Chain A
């Protein structure tokens, strides 16, 4: 029996930016009314191009920023727009960032990096207990305990990413937000880290919110997928739904644009014209209509709603059949 660990209800996040010194302020709709749910022990992948709001979603879910509107429920606790979240619930979500070189403090030893979350959040532990937990964690992520007293510069990219994962796991979170965890790593190291993430998920019953733009990694890791475009979810469903039966033209274009490592495969590529519009002035109607090859007048005027069919939801006036 699995329960919903995370349930998001219409969360959005707008930013106000000033355009020039005397210009009027404008609103960036980084994340518009997004709803989804995630079962414990599963992996939800968020895919989309840069500027589609996937990192904003990560910041809201990890409570770095409150949602602008709407609310989400995490492990039975509801987080709303105007109420700051308690520190207890904050420690049940942890983040792993993309760049393992930038995300570790070069002046801290691995011991300090790993113990700091405990010092702050678990003041009842003494130094010996903290060290014991940190050494245990090092072994869990596949490093040796003699690495405990070293500095980050003595490690390779893959090992640093292991340290970043260890740090995120120190408070035994339920949800791990992985923001492009392998895209800065080499191919042979990437598979090591992906394997580690799969093993940890099994061992600790972790739930992952996996943000990536690499569809082959997403296909391997995810149970469910959220495809985003310009701050909106355009399609969501199980990995099977998205990869075998993509309905939204953007999802189809994204899948066809992804290079496949098989030279014998016949290419049938949908060429998208143009680029992502500025989120400062999104097009009217469906956000994808200027680049869409099946756009009609209706797409320019009305914003489509998310139509749900079982596990598969798509936000398009003319969903495609494949």
Chain B
């Protein structure tokens, strides 16, 4: 069953130098119990597209889409109150910086109970018990004592666990994790990713993982969507993507991984991601692409909207014999 179905999502920001298109006609579909990873470099619009789904963008953003359905509800037509009933309950999000996402003025117990109070008809005592239960679920030792702790008294990994506990407090159907482990050490990262996958299996919760770390993608995701400069360039299952990347950008990105290199020099991608004012006319990747020709510079490539596996490239790399 399709849980989240977004078609042709575009986000533009009003800036003093004119509109800036941060997300350019992106399609996202997430099935129940799915693990989708959205990969891309900074400025690829991966966070902005998910913030648009959550309705968390500032007023300077203009969000347009053909379709934005979550669990059968059209997200575009909702007013603020109706949206609040969904966001934080059926659909929730955790952010990159656990330290700055929690309110430093309130105890973590208060912040957890606040999330429960907003969405569930529980009594005071039930909320407290549920908060302890949640902290235990995310692996915080001595959860009853921790309820009165402030965020600054906990480490980064512990704060991220609290964020996760808060996000799963109302048993969401969809959890969006925006770089959940980037600020954490590898041994803590392994614990957090394990926890997210466990929740995905046990609670029947779909997971959207926004990341730039290919290692994290390979180990957690089932499907991967690759974005470049606000556009989705390709989407494949994780095994297929790592074995046979079809867009030249994905191919170059994977080749640039130090662990895949054989020589002392890495095959690097020249140049940088285009910014607001230096967008190329044709394919956005064409100035950095080693396969680009005249057609790539002139014509914008489009992916076939009906075929989710199609690639946004004039000359997709051939699938290998396997």
Contact = CB atoms under 8 A, between A and B. Distances in A.
Nearest to A50: B185
Given A186-B42, A275-B158, A259 B269 contact: no
Given A158-B272, A263-B218, A188 B257 contact: no
Contacts of A42: none
B6 interface: no
A267 to B, nearest CB: 7
Contact of B258 (A188, A220, A256): A220
Contacts of B267: 191
Interface stretch (A20-28, A125-133, A209-217): A209-217
Interface stretch (B64-72, B129-137, B187-195, B311-319): B187-195
Interface residues on B, range: 35 or more
Main secondary structure of the interface of B (DSSP, over half): helix
Nearest to B265: A195
Contacts, number: 119
A272 B187 contact: yes
Contact of B212 (A187, A198, A265): A187
Given A216-B215, A254-B186, A187 B239 contact: no
Interface in B219-278: 219, 238-239, 242-243, 252-254, 256-261, 264-270, 272-273
A172 interface: no
A28 B144 CA distance: 30
B214 interface: yes
A262 B258 contact: no
A217 B273 CA distance: 22
B151 interface: no
Interface string B132-156: 0000000001000000000000010
B215 A259 contact: yes
B186 A257 contact: yes
Contact of B186 (A49, A188, A199, A221): A49
A308 B207 CA distance: 47
Contact of A188 (B242, B253, B260): B253
Interface string B263-305: 0111111101100000000000000100000000000000000
B268 A260 contact: no
A262 B242 contact: yes
Question: Of residues A187, A198, A257, A260, which shows the largest number of chain B Cβ atoms within 10 Å of its Cβ?
Answer: A187
Contacts of B270: 192
Contacts of B238: 263
B217 interface: yes
A6 to B, nearest CB: 22
Contacts of A216: 215, 257-259
A257 B191 CA distance: 9
Contacts of B157: 275
B41 A187 contact: yes
Contacts of A272: 187, 190-191
B248 to A, nearest CB: 12
B102 interface: no
A192 B218 contact: no
Interface in B14-43: 41-42
Interface of B: 41-42, 141, 155, 157-158, 185-191, 193-194, 212-219, 238-239, 242-243, 252-254, 256-261, 264-270, 272-273, 288
Given A188-B273, A262-B242, A275-B188, 6 more contacts: A49-B185, A187-B212, A189-B41, A259-B186, A259-B219, A260-B215
22 contacts: A49-B185, A49-B187, A187-B214, A187-B253, A191-B256, A191-B267, A195-B266, A199-B265, A220-B259, A254-B186, A256-B190, A259-B189, A259-B190, A261-B254, A261-B257, A262-B242, A264-B242, A269-B190, A271-B194, A272-B187, A272-B191, A275-B188
